[in-house]
Amino acid sequence: MTEIIHTGTIAHLRSDPFAEENALEIIERGALAIDPSGRIASLGERKTVFDAFPETQIVDHGNAWLIPGLIDAHLHFPQFYATAGFGNGLLDWLDNTVYPAEARFADATFAKTAAERFIEHLLACGTTTAMAFGSQFYAANAALFEAAGRSGIRLIAGMTLMDRNAPAALLGTVDQAADATEKLIALCRENPRLHYAITPRFALSCSPQLLELCGWLLKHHPESYVQTHINETRQEVAAVHAAFPQNRHYLDVYDSFGLLSERTVLAHSIYTTEAELDRMAEVSCVVCHCPTSNAYLGSGLFPLRRHLEHGIRVALGTDIGAGTQFSVWRELSEAYKVQQLQGFCLNAGRLFYLATLGGAKALGLEREVGNFETGKNADFFVLDYEEDRYLAARLNRCESAAEQLFCLLHLADERHVDSTYVQGRLAASRKPL
């Protein structure tokens, strides 16, 4: 076997654009060489790469853009069919839309089919790495990991743990949670692209005993991630304070059970206090911004600048099903608008970073994915706009490639994803979603 070269307009981040200038690299007549193991062998102008790898198979994508695989750091597998459900705020929406939808995943056959479609849908949107809340049912989670393993997508997921304040069908005991988690952690060890995340839903759905178990699991399986929610709505924050009056603030609930580390991902963080931001920075945990979800539920505006000023790593998530779109690319446009409303203007590089290299760094995966650095996994997608006459005409009026990228970040969507590759292998191609 020999290298394969893909050609097109190539865009990626070489470094953090919030910290360094000229972090964004765009190669208009670019070439990407992929070695037989599915890793990046070379990146550059076509002639340079062609000369380095003569007599190599070439896959010409014309004027399409080659983009590093997108990273969705927060979504819910059992809410795959719960999008666009009515709810008067977060807690009402959970009771009336989400919990009934999640209960369907008790049916193993239903869950298996949903898992396959869930993974297919992500890949069709250019997502090659995802961090997902799993089901409350063991068989559904096993099906999710199996579907991910077959597809090649990089998946971080875990059983959603809850033992109170929800329908009985979705609640489990501490012993059940411990047994299922141990089995799923063992399952993930069989594939280096599968990772386990200890997943207490949020403080209100977990008893102190269940949160204590989560801390014990993290201590005994330090390779695991932790994912949960924090400070999403004012109503939720008040309810957590009432349920855990002994704790100083919402973050302190998780902290008191040993759940904060550099592998902890906290979704939303809209109403986070300065004391909480200081502690997040101290323990190096991660925050995931979910702009469409926050707007849909009327939760509020995520203060990105405050988090960055504290040195907190930030990723981006679709938060299906409060989010109404599976495309992380489209989330970037929504993130831009949310920050504009707060006087924080993000240029193309900074925006692009959140769903690629920034997301990889947030999840501790920057040695494997996030950009086209030599040696990393060849996870990428092809963004082809030429059949969209308006978009093609709009890009022709741009004065630079960076200006074109900014337009694409707002005007392109999953319908323009021609194909998606994981480890250099074709994993999805354009078809009706």
φ and ψ of 323, to 5 deg: -70, 150
Percent of the chain predicted with pLDDT > 70: 99
Contact 70, 329 (CB under 8 A): yes
* Domain match, 56 and 80 both: no
Q: Is residue 9 part of a domain?
A: yes
Q: For the packed helices 401-411 and 328-340, what is the interaxial angle rounded to 10 degrees? A: 100
Contact 319, 80 (CB under 8 A): no
CATH assignment at residue 424: 2.30.40.10
Q: Is residue 351 part of a domain?
A: no
* Domain match, 213 and 247 both: yes
Domain hosting residue 379, numbered range: 4-68+371-429
- CA atoms of 368 and 40, how far apart (whole Å): 10
| Secondary element (H or E) of residue 313 | strand 313-316
pLDDT of 224: 98
* Domain match, 96 and 139 both: yes
In three-state form (DSSP H/G/I as H, E/B as E, the rest C), the secondary structure along 85-99 is: CCCCCHHHHHHHHHH
Compute the residue count for the chain. Answer: 433
- CA atoms of 401 and 315, how far apart (whole Å): 25
- CA atoms of 201 and 79, how far apart (whole Å): 13
Query: CB-based contacts of 302: which residues, under 8 Å, 6+ apart?
Result: 268, 269, 270, 289, 290, 291, 294, 338
Q: Is residue 366 part of a domain?
A: no
Number of neighbours of residue 140 by Cβ within 10 angstroms = 25
- CA atoms of 318 and 168, how far apart (whole Å): 28
* Domain match, 55 and 187 both: no
- CA atoms of 332 and 318, how far apart (whole Å): 10
Last residue of a domain, one of 264, 291, 326: 326
The number of helix segments (H) and strand segments (E) in the chain equals: 17, 16
* Domain match, 294 and 240 both: yes
Per-residue pLDDT of the chain (433 residues; tens, 9 = 90+): 589 999 999 999 999 999 999 999 999 999 999 999 999 999 999 999 999 999 899 999 999 999 999 999 999 999 999 999 998 889 899 999 999 999 999 999 999 999 999 999 999 999 999 999 999 999 999 999 999 999 999 999 999 999 999 999 999 999 999 999 999 999 999 999 999 999 999 999 999 999 999 999 999 999 999 999 999 999 999 999 999 999 999 999 999 999 999 999 999 999 999 999 999 999 999 999 999 999 999 999 999 999 999 999 999 999 999 999 999 999 999 999 999 999 999 999 999 999 999 999 999 999 999 999 999 999 999 999 999 999 999 999 999 999 999 999 999 999 999 999 999 999 999 855 4
> Using only C-alpha atoms, what is the Rg of the chain?
21
* Domain match, 103 and 198 both: yes
pLDDT of 2: 83
* Amino acid at the residue 219: K
Contact 226, 185 (CB under 8 A): no
pLDDT of 433: 46
Query: CB-based contacts of 421: which residues, under 8 Å, 6+ apart?
Result: 69, 128, 378, 379, 380, 381, 382, 427
- CA atoms of 322 and 294, how far apart (whole Å): 8
- CA atoms of 77 and 106, how far apart (whole Å): 13
Contact 409, 351 (CB under 8 A): yes
* Domain match, 142 and 36 both: no
- CA atoms of 305 and 242, how far apart (whole Å): 29
CATH assignment at residue 225: 3.20.20.140
Q: Is residue 355 part of a domain?
A: no
- CA atoms of 264 and 261, how far apart (whole Å): 5
Contact 215, 171 (CB under 8 A): no
**CA dihedral angle for residue 240, residue 246, residue 251, residue 254, rounded to 10 degrees:** -90
- CA atoms of 233 and 17, how far apart (whole Å): 30
Q: Is residue 233 part of a domain?
A: yes
Q: For the packed helices 208-220 and 174-188, what is the interaxial angle rounded to 10 degrees? A: 30
Which one, of 138, 148, 131, 74, lies nearest residue 111 by Cα? 138
Contact 228, 197 (CB under 8 A): no
* Domain match, 321 and 245 both: yes
* Domain match, 287 and 175 both: yes
Q: What is the pLDDT of residues 211-239, one digit of tens each?
A: 999 999 999 999 999 999 999 999 999 99
pLDDT of 431: 58
* Domain match, 54 and 132 both: no
Last residue of a domain, one of 272, 291, 326: 326
| Secondary element (H or E) of residue 258 | none
- The strands making up 57-68's β-sheet, listed across from edge to edge, are 40-45, 24-34, 4-13, 57-68, 380-383, 417-422, 425-429
